[in-house]
Amino acid sequence: MHFGQSVGDLFLLMAVVTLSNLTDSLNFSDLNTWANAPETIAYFAEHQQFGTLLGLALIAGPLGNAPSSAPPLAG
């Protein structure tokens, strides 16, 4: 296993756990309802750094698992 893959998996896991705690569900219809709720929009407008970090974690997970042209780390 490459170091980047485990870090990407960890970021993705942290994002999914955070999202499930915020929404109480991981069903797409429930996520859509939560994302469009006025209180959710107001919260993330006031605390933009949390939305940014959550979005980066959701993106970084799959990117950490993408194949790279760099040679694997020794170890």
Per-10-residue mean pLDDT of the chain, 75 residues long, equals 66 87 88 92 92 85 66 62
pLDDT score for 64: 63
| Nearest to 34, CA basis, from 18, 58, 11 | 18
**Residue ranges covered by each domain of the chain:** 21-62
pLDDT score for 4: 52
pLDDT score for 53: 87
pLDDT score for 26: 85
CB 60 within 8 A of CB 4: no
